């Protein structure tokens, strides 16, 4: 298990650097995690700058999101655990806090529908730009348990789902590997920015 944790810790540090360079985790926003074993997950320590981490900024929690090493995990650990529980094959979850996702989440009501983009094929089992990918937008909530419940209820009747937005608060996406999760982040960022521009209601 330790070797697995060390590998993921290094990958999460590197992923933080990549996403910071892309402008997607300003200040200390964002959080990332990985499934290390059945009851052990690597996750970013609360309040750290995600672009300038070392492996000391990655800690361990169990499947209930409780600290296994006396440090405090991200306040949003519960959202990660909901995803791991629902999707047994998911091994990495990334929550960037990008400007375009933030703005788009304040422009739309309940969901964004992404269509006619070749880049949709970056997501699993989508093999044509004609696919219509729905991305739900949840209202922000400091009560994470309550928010996780809403996400869970949505997933009961709306799969497949590859990510979601929280209003004024970035987005969540995931994958079976670090590479897949990062691919989904880059694809969503591109598509959210396109969508924001297509709507024309917001400028920059």
Which residue ranges make up the site for a copy of itself (CB under 8 A)?
A: 26-29, 49, 97, 99-100, 102-103, 106, 116-119, 122, 127-129, 140, 142, 166-170, 179, 182-184, 186-187, 189-190, 193-194, 196-198, 200-204
Compute the least distance from the CB of residue 1 to a copy of itself, in Å.
Answer: 28
In whole angstroms, the minimum distance from the beta carbon of 89 to a copy of itself comes to: 18
Residue whose CB is less far from a copy of itself, 40 or 194: 194
Structure tokens at 191: 């598509």
**Are 191 and 119 in contact, with CB atoms under 8 Å apart?**
yes
User: Nearer Cβ to a copy of itself, position 86 or 167?
Assistant: 167
What is the C-alpha R_g of the chain? 16
Q: Could you tell me the smallest distance in angstroms from the CB atom of residue 77 to a copy of itself?
A: 15
Nearest of 73, 55, 53, 54 to residue 63 by alpha carbon: 73
Confirm if 136 and 160 have CB atoms less than 8 A apart.
Answer: no
Least Cβ distance, residue 202 to a copy of itself (angstroms): 5
Whose Cβ is closer to a copy of itself: residue 106's or residue 146's? 106
Q: Is 168 helix (H, G, I), strand (E, B) or coil?
A: coil
CB atoms within 10 A of CB 187: 22
DSSP H or E stretch at residue 45:
none
Q: Measured from the CB atom, is 38 or 110 closer to a copy of itself?
A: 110
């Amino acid at each position: 298990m330790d070797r697995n944790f060390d590998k993921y810790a290094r990958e999460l540090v590197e992923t933080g650097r990549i996403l910071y360079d892309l402008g997607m985790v300003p200040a200390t926003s964002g959080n990332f995690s990985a499934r290390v074993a059945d009851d052990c997950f690597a996750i970013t320590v609360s309040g750290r700058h995600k672009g300038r981490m070392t492996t000391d900024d990655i800690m361990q929690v169990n499947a209930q999101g409780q600290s296994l090493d006396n440090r405090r995990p991200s306040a949003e650990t519960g959202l990660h655990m909901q995803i791991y529980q629902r999707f047994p094959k998911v091994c990495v979850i990334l929550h960037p806090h990008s400007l375009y996702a933030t703005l788009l989440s304040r422009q739309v009501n309940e969901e964004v529908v992404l269509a006619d983009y070749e880049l949709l094929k970056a997501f699993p089992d989508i093999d044509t730009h004609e696919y219509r990918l729905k991305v739900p937008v949840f209202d922000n909530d400091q009560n994470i348990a309550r928010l996780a419940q809403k996400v869970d209820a949505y997933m009961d009747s709306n799969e497949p789902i590859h990510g979601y937005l929280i209003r004024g608060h970035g987005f969540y996406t995931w994958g079976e590997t670090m590479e897949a999760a990062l691919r989904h982040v880059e694809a969503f960022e591109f598509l959210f920015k396109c969508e924001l521009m297509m709507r024309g209601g917001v400028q920059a």
